[in-house]
Amino acid sequence: MAWELLLWLYAFASVISLIALTAYQLINLSDLEFDYINPYDLSSRINAVVIPEFLVQGILCASFLLTWHWFPFLIMAPITCYHINLFMNRRHLIDVTEIFRLLHGEKKYRIIKLSIYFSIFVIVIYRLVMSAVLLLMDEGDGSLETFLS
């Protein structure tokens, strides 16, 4: 039972990092839209975090699959498959010369990813609390009754 709590703690940290990375990318795209940064800086900033984001999300999706947590896996599977498709077709990095043409599409893509990550975050928080409560109830059955009497 303790391994499940560790899984949900890992999932909590991973989803927080995915939300932070996606929000960072979205903020950088908004900065470009308002002309606070140039396209070269935007491309170098976003391209630096794309591969780590793909890796964290892929490992988290695989851990849900391997531990038979189907609902979170099914929510994360489409975006993981899309990430694999982007990586295989070498379209995962932002091109400096094409960014103004693709700006609105990239922002919509990141907003959709952020909403998926927030839905996973709600599930992970719920399962983390439930795992912690069940673990404490299992370990504390005898000690709680002794303490109260």
Domain that includes residue 70, residue range: 2-139
Neighbours of 96 (CB within 10 A): 15
User: Does 147 map to a domain?
Assistant: no
- Is 145 domain-assigned? no
CA–CA separation, 139 vs 123, rounded Å?
24
pLDDT < 70 stretches in the chain: 1, 140-149
Q: How many CB atoms lie within 10 A of CB 76?
A: 24
What pLDDT does residue 139 have?
A: 75
Per-residue pLDDT at 3: 87
Residue among 61, 115, 63, 65 at smallest CA distance from 83:
61
Is the pTM higher than 0.75? yes
Counted domains in the chain? 1
> What pLDDT, on a 0 to 100 scale, did the predictor assign at position 137?
86
Task: Judge contact between 90 and 13, C-beta under 8 A.
Answer: no
pLDDT (0 to 100) of residue 147: 47
Q: What is the largest distance, in Å, between two alpha-carbon atoms of the chain?
A: 73
Tell whether 91 is covered by a domain: yes
Would you say residue 146 lies in a domain?
no
Q: Is residue 148 part of a domain?
A: no
Q: Is there a domain that residue 66 lies in?
A: yes
